Amino acid sequence: MTRIDQTFRRLKAEGRPAFVTYVMAGDPDFEASLDLVRGLPGAGADVIELGLPFTDPMADGPTIQLAAQRALGAGMTLARTLELARRFRQSDPETPIVLMGYYNPIYSRGVADFLTEAKAAGIDGLIVVDLPPEEDEELCIPANAAGMNFIRLATPTTDDARLPKVLQNTSGFLYYVSITGITGAAEANADLVAPEVARIKAASDIPVCVGFGIKTPEAARAIGRIADGVVVGSAIVERLASGQSPATVLEFVRTLADGAHGDG
């Protein structure tokens, strides 16, 4: 059982949805990013998605694109991203870390070596945007075999016929993409998302988290009522990009967490 599985089991027992935060590793630089990541659990994050910078993030909007460019510009690499996770793990043995990004840096490193290094760094799961079920042999199956969760995306275009294929090798949780589009674009509509989440939950016991287009505490609250978890990324990264200090950004994260958890 991974830290992700344990976290969702605990939250289920508490009757609370998970609050999942996304930040880009190394944005704006290694030390500031590490400070921010270290502060996330204290600000209410139950799961941390750590963005792996890539030059060509095809599913991301301008906010995450620019975050990746800042991180790469500051010398971020796959190895440095794993180092950041390892440093975080020294002071926090519990909060799950999901590495989220694109396949090429991992493929370039070599899947077997990557999995060994990522596990040693304390990474618990992977979201790789450009690996659909049709390419499961590449990384999904080896990752699951290595005891790491492979978290799949389901989208509004994933119909009933296709859903079993998407669920098949997914572990940890399922990430439901609330909109057709890129990160940070349109706003998620809880009324439209609710039946989709129900459709997935009817087909599987796996926790379902919802992300894309959730920008405010109110939106987080609305999604938290209908899903097992709420993912916020661009809205946090946007504040960091506007020059806010990690402490100020963490205050905002706290308001999102309270919204997602239905507190306050």
Kindly list the residues in this chain that would bind other proteins in the complex (CB under 8 A). 53-59, 61-62, 65, 69, 72, 77-79, 102-109, 129-135, 152-159, 162, 166, 177, 180-182, 185
Looking at 27, 46, 60, 196, which residue is catalytic? 60
- Please state the length of the chain: 264
Closest contact distance (angstroms) between CB of 25 and other proteins is 13
For 80, 88, 201, the CA distances from 33, given in Å and listed in that order, are 12, 10, 35
Closest contact distance (angstroms) between CB of 158 and other proteins is 6
Please identify, using beta-carbon distances, which residue of 107 and 169 lies nearer to other proteins: 107
Half-sphere exposure of 64 (CA within 13 A, CB side): 29
- Two tokens at 55? 């030059």
Looking at 27, 46, 49, 258, which residue is catalytic? 49
Closest contact distance (angstroms) between CB of 77 and other proteins is 4
Please identify, using beta-carbon distances, which residue of 109 and 254 lies nearer to other proteins: 109
Helices (H), the chain: 3-14, 30-39, 62-73, 78-91, 103-109, 111-120, 140-145, 163-168, 190-203, 217-224, 234-241, 246-261
Closest contact distance (angstroms) between CB of 161 and other proteins is 9
To the query of whether residue 205 is one of the catalytic residues in this protein, the response is: no
To the query of whether residue 60 is one of the catalytic residues in this protein, the response is: yes
Please identify, using beta-carbon distances, which residue of 11 and 52 lies nearer to other proteins: 52
* CB neighbour list of residue 13: distance below 8 Å, 6 or more residues apart: none
For 27, 28, 160, 190, the CA distances from 182, given in Å and listed in that order, are 20, 22, 22, 18
Please identify, using beta-carbon distances, which residue of 28 and 62 lies nearer to other proteins: 62
Separation of alpha carbons 66 and 133, rounded Å: 28
Active site residues: 49, 60
